[in-house]
């Protein structure tokens, strides 16, 4: 599925199953919450914190998909074409960081 297809699929789901979009501010709060759930898993599974028994069955991929879903909602609501935005962002990073990362001894 392309990013464009994902945006369309989410929009179709919202308008059929989800009834309507939440407000942009509500979706921003939900996005923050979902990112927090991803952070919790990463911190405990891959970081120094110990993983609680109740967290061991958490599906990182599912939590990341929740983040993506809400981000797609926000893009749809605000008229952002994420394919175009990502392409522009990668171009910006390529120009800006053309030598920066290559010359970073910490990455070697």
User: Can you tell me the mean pLDDT for 42-67?
Assistant: 93
Q: Does domain 3-80 have CATH number 1.10.287.1080?
A: yes
Please tell me the pTM assigned to this model.
Answer: 0.90
Burial 51-71 (b: 16+ CB within 10 A, else e): eeeeeeebeeeebbebbbbbb
List, for residues 19-35, the tens digit of each pLDDT value. Answer: 999 999 999 999 999 99
Indicate the burial class of 38 (C-beta count within 10 angstroms; 0-12, 13-18, 19 or more).
middle
Please state the φ and ψ torsions of residue 47, each to the nearest 5 degrees: -100, -160
Chain-wide mean pLDDT for the chain?
Answer: 95
Question: Would you kindly state where each structural domain of the chain is located, as residue ranges?
Answer: 3-80
User: Can you tell me the mean pLDDT for 57-73?
Assistant: 97
- pLDDT, position 94: 92
List, for residues 32-43, the tens digit of each pLDDT value. Answer: 999 999 999 999
């Amino acid at each position: 599925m392309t990013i464009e297809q994902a945006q369309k699929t989410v929009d179709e789901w919202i308008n059929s199953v989800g009834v309507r979009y939440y407000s942009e501010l509500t979706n921003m709060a939900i996005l923050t919450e979902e990112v927090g759930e991803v952070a919790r898993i990463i911190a405990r599974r891959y970081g120094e914190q110990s993983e609680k028994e109740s967290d061991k069955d958490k599906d990182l991929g599912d939590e990341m998909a929740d983040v993506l879903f809400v981000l797609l909602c926000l893009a749809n609501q605000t008229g952002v074409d994420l394919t175009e935005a990502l392409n522009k962002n990668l171009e910006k990073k390529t120009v800006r960081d053309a030598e920066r990362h290559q010359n970073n001894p910490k990455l070697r």
